[in-house]
Amino acid sequence: MAAFNDFNQKIMAEFHENGGKVGGRFAGTDVLILTSTGRKSGQTRWNPLAYSSDGDRYIIVASKGGAPTSPDWYHNLVANSSAVIEVGNDVIPVEATIATGAERDRLYAQHAARMPQFNEYAKNTTRQIPVVVLTRKRVEVHGVADEILKAEPHRNVTRVGNTVYRDAGPWTPAVHALLRHLHSVGFTKVPQPIGTDEQGREMLGFMPGESGADSWAKIVPDEGLAKFAHLLREYHDAVRSFVAPPGAQWAIEEPPRATDDVICHGDFAPWNIIWRDDEPVAIIDWDFAGPGSFMEDVAYALEYATPFRSDQEAIRWLRYDAPPDRPHRMGVFASAYGLESTVGLVDRVIERQRLDAKRVARLAELGRNPQATWVRDGYLEELAARASWTETSRALFER
């Protein structure tokens, strides 16, 4: 199974690099990438498949090379007919139906006439190989959303079937290159980048689970806190081999520093983690990814996971039942991440708090939102107050 997944990853990488064209056993064949939802796992699945056309419909065949059973992607479509395909540079929401009777026979014969190997597949199995018809969904200008995930003046996120549509920015191509790399090295706890639509929105594979405000309670127990920290370490290990494409733009453009050693997530906090039950399964919202020191991500995560907030705020807003034992929680995080000790971490958090203020001010100067709105609403003063509170509250973080 691992070898097959590696093969699929290589085909999909070649597909994206060459505008939908691939070589090898697919050379000269029309290929699409099917995005479906796992019928058991609920996770997004991707499969490169040969296809033929019937008018404006896309035809795929569940041959599995003539195996006695149908492929998993077929069962996924039977369970959930809403899917997305990539054809060339186009990303197309589709509805899947299973052809039957004379229609099925006609489409299979037509498909096999273009790709004769499908005649051999039919001879190799006693089952009737299913034919799947993919029909383009008609999506209105603003998207027919199954679910509005976020609706803010400067940050709109909607979901259509298995695809998430988000407002894009100049940094989106670099972020998508990063996400593709992570999948290629086996770190799949990030959304699969699909591309952009005709409105310029970025398109990502949907990852089901709990996130946002619901995630705060997940990191209150030591076990959840340790998993949160370990997820960050997993990401940092996976990203170290990433080489940014030439001319890559990031949301926060800063001069290179000697301490830069990874591409940081930039916003690794409870609200950007997806959980299923008590397991963190994905990191989302990569808009602030960019070069930096791994300790910047660590310090940012610690600010919210320790937390670097008053007891009253921790109990009222951050899901704690009692004042948190901050030194203990820093130790749990540090151990799970792989740090040798907690020495110096408070100073790192203060540095990161001040860096956040500088970055918000810089983005506001560039006219970026929501940062420009935040600055008008006095957010810089709040950020300065946080750093000052940490400076004067060191005793809370030390034994």
* pLDDT tens sequence across 357-387: 999 999 999 888 889 888 998 999 999 999 9
Q: Out of 17-21, 207-211, 223-227, 262-266, pick the least confident.
A: 17-21
Provide long-range contacts, Cβ within 8 A and 24+ apart, for 153-162.
Answer: 153/369, 153/370, 153/373, 154/369, 154/370, 154/373, 155/370, 159/206, 160/93, 161/82, 161/83, 161/84, 161/93, 161/137, 161/206, 162/35, 162/36, 162/37, 162/44, 162/82, 162/83, 162/84, 162/205, 162/206
Give the mean pLDDT of 158-162. Answer: 81
pTM for the structure as a whole:
0.69
Predicted pLDDT of residue 259: 77
Residue 199, pLDDT > 70, answer: yes
Distance CA 374, CA 368 (A): 10
Tokens (6 digits) for 186: 């086996």
Predicted pLDDT of residue 153: 52
- Kindly report, residue by residue over 165-188, the tens digit of the pLDDT: 998 999 999 999 999 999 989 999
| DSSP one-letter code for 65 | G
Tokens (6 digits) for 304: 């919210």
Q: Out of 157-161, 309-313, 352-356, pick the least confident.
A: 157-161
**Mode of pairing for the β-strands spanning 147-152 and 52-54:** unpaired
